[in-house]
Amino acid sequence: MSNIINYTRLTTSEKQSDRFLTCQVYEPLEIEQKELGNIYSHVEILNPWFPNSQIGQTIINTVIREYYRGTNTSLLVNFESAIKKANETLAQIAQSGETDWIGKLNSILILISDKDLHLSQTGTSQAYLYRATKINHITEGLSANDKPHPLKTFNNLISGTLQEDDRVIVANSAFYEIISASELKNIINSFPPAIAAMECAKILRKNRILNANAIFLQVTTKETLANLPPDQKIETIYLDQAGFSPLWTIRSIVSSHIIPGLKRTFGGLGRLLATGGKKLSPKIKRTWKVTGTWSKKALRRANNLGQKSLDKIEQNIKKQDTEIEYLDQNTIKQSQSAEDIKPDSKSYHDGSEPAGTRVNVGLHKIKNKTKKFFIRLGIHPKITSKWVLRVGLILIFISIITVISAVAVRLNSKKNQNISVNLQNLQSQFQDAKDAEVNDKSRAIQLFRSIISDSANLGRTKYADQAQNIAGNSRVEINKLTDTTELKAYSSAKIKGVTLATIGQEKNFATTSNSDIFTKIKSLNSFDNSGKLKIDPDLYGLIYLPENAEILAANKRSQGEILKSSNLNQSQTIKLPAASAVAEYLDNLYLLNNIKDQIYKITREGNAYGEPTNYLKSPTSVGSSVDLAIDGSVYTLERDGKIQRLSRGSVIETFTIELPFQDQIKSPQKIFTGIDSDSIFIVDAPDNLRIIEISKFGAFKKQYSLSGTNAKYNIYINPDTREIIAAGEDKALSFKI
């Protein structure tokens, strides 16, 4: 059986105010990379999230990119080269003037390929190996006490071999301050990673620790992993999202209430039986002896019945039935009649009575004498054992329901109380934000955004409408303070499972998770699924090719499906390099692959596309880019919100966008521009979705919010016509700037 790593990340869904903190897992999708193993990264920088998020993510991206592009046959050599490249990148960052992170970086980078583990560490983050009953402190003594130097940030590398069922945990110091390595032993060895992470999360929440971060790893087999239930294969546990889980609530009720109650009940019953047994033991022993004697006599009589006549048998049966009726009227209602016994020549011995009759008579005598004995003792039940069992089960069931109901009522009451407090906090926070508008507009914006984020926690509660009103008022205030215009959709169409949408010359197009493609004439409100063609639903890009009025659907399987916008029933498939974003310029395709740090260009040659060529020239890097747009120049949007402008494969300009009140782009998603547009549009989706319009030199112009959308919507913008289409939540919304 082949080995596989079962892992769970314990992290937070929200950014930490005082530090950059993340743990990530990179599992390659390409077959040739899968053989090289997975990379597990844990990075903590003890400085505010921005701009340290750029540094932390750069470390991770650099190691991943350099390792998988390595050409050496030794995985260790390739990993060592990737670590060295990360150090060089950090040195370049320090030379540019960003030095606040030096001495405040805690990180562990792990490569696991089959059973081989390679690890590099810096700072105070630690890793432990749990093998059977032993604990091995993997990173003990690795941290150097020398003065920090960027080129020597990751200056150690250790390797080892894992065994099946080995457990490894990587975590920061905040985690180990609450849960020590020895305390982890029982949790780690008793549960799979997902359950172990949940148990640790409960301990950390109880201690109000939200700045902990960990990765739980277990070496297992594909067969074992496949047999685990879904709730034990969760890849991410969020420390700041405790939630309310019915399964875990029932588990808690059973473990804390029902099981102890049953133990007390059966413990008392056991003691009662033990005491009664001591008193009844002599009587039972004597009774057993007497019963044995009676049984032997009855069986001997049964064996001698063959010498008696049929009339004698009938008399014995009648007499026996009379005794049975006297002893237990509720059990036997009628005496057996002699006429019921018919001679059977096949079952006679020596031509006398049937053998079955002899045995029945003997057993009846044993049963009668045994019952007489129990009646004399006074312990023969007045009712049948079936009724005793039924009554007992009903009582146990009622007890369990009572306990569960009581605990559920208590939990629900406490939950409602907490929800009410949360609503009051939102109301108080809104008033604080309004007061801050006078003297500290930046703080007011921050408070309003926090309200919008926190109000989502009250969804599906009886206070949901009130929370939504407070969030809506907060958005209005933010729009006023940040010069944001809220756009209303002029068209809303329902499309079940919609994933992506794009804008053509006369029509809009949308794809769904069911492999369908829809089209809509712009002047109409509804989409039509007239195309019978099915396309791959796992797409990362859907763009319009204006030169030939075609649609390109780029999927994650390195393929592109090209459809005529006038006839969605015909398509051709082209091979594409692996990428995460695609753009077009004069029908030529440009594809971004930030892992391989490259932009590929594919030129249109008649009705066909040629082979991809590398667009970038060294030392240009797009390792931290998330999207690209083209108007003749190529613009790349970086994770930190900066924009690179490239020409002929080289960077000619990099600019940072200055937003009102020192606001920052927090979660950049997409970038759009065009030949006939003098603007660049950026989609930013931190807590709620917004569109930022800037000049092509980086000067801020305006920003927009889209009514009825949220950060989960996929956005496409036609910068030349200033049209927007938003796809999400089974809807496609159209806007006009």
Residue type, 248: W
- If asked whether residues 498 and 447 sit together in one domain, one would say no
- If asked whether residues 370 and 231 sit together in one domain, one would say no
Say what the alpha-carbon torsion angle 244, 246, 251, 253 is, to the nearest 10 degrees.
80
The domain boundary residue, chosen from 481, 513, 538:
481
- Residue 701 resides in a domain: yes
- If asked whether residues 570 and 472 sit together in one domain, one would say no
Q: pLDDT under 50 in the chain at which residues?
A: 243-257, 269, 272-273, 279-281, 283-284, 287-288, 290-291, 294-295, 298-299, 302-303, 305-310, 313-314, 317-318, 320-353, 374, 377, 379-384, 388
- If asked whether residues 637 and 714 sit together in one domain, one would say yes
Which tokens go with 454? 């926190």
The domain boundary residue, chosen from 351, 380, 409:
380
Provide the pLDDT for residue 310.
44
Give the chain's radius of gyration (CA, Å).
38
Range of the domain at 461: 389-481
> Residue 189 contacts by C-beta under 8 Å, 6 or more apart in sequence?
130, 132, 133, 167
pLDDT digits (tens, 9 = 90+) for 268-293: 545 544 555 554 445 445 544 544 55
Helices (H), 24-131: 31-34, 49-68, 75-95
Provide the pLDDT for residue 669.
95
Provide the pLDDT for residue 415.
62
Separation between Cα atoms, residue 688 and residue 706, nearest integer Å = 9
Stated as kind and residue range, the H or E segment containing 605 is strand 604-605
Q: Are strands 668-672 and 650-655 parallel, antiparallel or unpaired?
A: unpaired
- Residue 248 resides in a domain: no
In the numeric block, the tokens 């903590």 are attached to 44
Three-state DSSP state, 531: coil
DSSP annotation of 678 reads: S
- Residue 88 resides in a domain: yes
Separation between Cα atoms, residue 197 and residue 4, nearest integer Å = 19
- Residue 249 resides in a domain: no
Q: How far is CA 584 from CA 414, 544, 554, 632, 633, in A?
A: 56, 8, 12, 10, 12
The string of DSSP letters for 269-327 reads HHHHHHHHHHHHHHHHHHHHHHHHHHHHHHHHHHHHGGGS-HHHHHHHHHHHHHHHHHH
Per the CB < 8 A criterion, the answer to whether 39 and 215 are in contact is no
What is the distance in angstroms between the CA of the first residue and the CA of the last residue of the chain? 58
Nearest to 453 by CA among 241, 660, 204, 244: 241
- If asked whether residues 399 and 278 sit together in one domain, one would say no
Q: Are strands 236-238 and 3-11 parallel, antiparallel or unpaired?
A: parallel
Instruction: Note the pTM of the prediction, 2 decimals.
Output: 0.46
Residue type, 285: K
pLDDT digits (tens, 9 = 90+) for 455-464: 887 777 777 8
- Residue 247 resides in a domain: no
- The sign of the dihedral angle between the CA atoms of 572, 573, 577, 580 is positive
How many CA atoms, within 13 angstroms, populate the side-chain half-sphere of residue 154? 30
Separation between Cα atoms, residue 682 and residue 635, nearest integer Å = 11
